[in-house]
Structure 1
Amino acid sequence: MPRYDYRCRACGSTFELNRPMAQAGDRAVCPSGHDDTVKLLSTVAVTGRASGAPAARPAGGAGGCCGGGCCGG
């Protein structure tokens, strides 16, 4: 279930609510009981790699190259 962040305009507190996406636009009441709240824009951090994706190789230093440039040209 998604988590949404809110800020209360009356007391300034921020809080989170877990609710279904179908209720994302519903009004929220802050823990102090105020109903003048706004939903905050949340950011999502995505890390890692997809399963089955090849691992990244480090650049340079392999197969006859020294320091990233080919030697003896």
Structure 2
Amino acid sequence: MSARSRQATGAFVGLLAGGAAGFFLTESVAVFFHFVLDRTLDVEGTGILLAVFIGVPILCAVAGAVAGARLAARQGG
């Protein structure tokens, strides 16, 4: 396997893992607010909260892709 395909595979796996982690993070925060603090987060009334719930999984996915590509390049040998 070439170095570029190894990096691409690492980036793709990192993208999926980071996106899943970002989704899990936002849902965990929403569940915490709902059950522990007894306050439901409403994204219809607040544009900033909607942007956070959309942006966090995207940022985590990009960070995961970068980390996956760097890790694959370092372990390539």
* TM-score interval, smaller chain: under 0.3
TM-score of the superposition, structure 1-length normalised? 0.23
* Greater strand share, structure number: 1
TM-score of the superposition, structure 2-length normalised? 0.22
* Greater helix share, structure number: 2
Higher relative contact order (CA 8 A, sep 6+): 2
**Computing the radius of gyration over CA atoms, which structure comes out larger, 1 or 2?**
1
